[in-house]
Every structure is written in C-alpha cells, then in structure tokens.
Amino acid sequence: MAELKKIHSNEDMNEVWERSEQKPAILFKHSATCPVSANAFNELNAFWKTTQEDVDCSYLVVSESRDLSNQIAEETEVKHESPQIFLISNKNVIWHTSHSKISQESINEALKNVK
C-alpha cells in the first residue's frame, strides 16, 4: 500500500498543485502534538486506505514546515488552522475544513463534488 506523501518544501507543494490537474489532491496540515489533529490524521489514513487510486494525498507537519504552512495560508487565502484539510482540483481549493470536522465521511462527501 502506498504511503501518504509528506511534503517539506515549496517544490513539494508545487507538485501537489500540478498533480491536482490530473486528479483531485488532498493536503492535510498536521500538528504532531495535538490530540484533535491525531484523530483527524487517523480519519485521513482510514480514508486513504480505501481511495488511493482516486486522489493524490499529501500532508505536512506544521511544526516542521511552518514557513510552508504560512505560505499555503497566504496562497489559498484560507486562514491557517491545525489540523486543517484542503481538497484541490485543477489548482483551486474547492473545499477545506478543520479540527473535528475532518472525517473519512466529510472527505468522501467533498470528493463527490469533484467527480
């Protein structure tokens, strides 16, 4: 089974944007010290186990990539939160949510609007 892609750099983020032209991309901003984020990350992993072919999925750990996290907030014009998830299609954020609203069900529901 493929692993979720961990991103660290602007180049990695540019690849996420580019890949979103081929298929939807999910980007998850993770706080490694937050229990709410740990639960959201578990929901993302549960989603990923069932949907690998249909979507590109990446994450960053905010404490390791704070500048990149801030850049994402600036580029998307979506206020930074952690945990936070974005659904990107054709280089546009088409859905985002945060905290306990991140669930396998909410991700699947958002993807229905892309397909």
Instruction: Over range 102-113, report the average pLDDT.
Output: 93
What confidence category does residue 18 fall into, taking pLDDT thresholds of 50, 70 and 90?
very high
- Whether the predicted pLDDT of 16 surpasses 70: yes
User: pTM, whole model, 2 decimals?
Assistant: 0.93
Q: What is the pLDDT of residues 43-88, one digit of tens each?
A: 999 999 887 678 999 999 999 999 999 999 999 999 999 999 999 9
pLDDT of residue 52: 67
For domain 5-112, which CATH number applies: 3.40.30.10, 1.10.10.10, 3.30.1050.10, 3.40.50.720?
A: 3.40.30.10
Residue extents of the structural domains in the chain: 5-112
Residue scoring higher pLDDT (2 or 79): 79
Angstrom distances, CA of residue 83 to CA of 55, 68, 89, 92: 20, 15, 20, 20
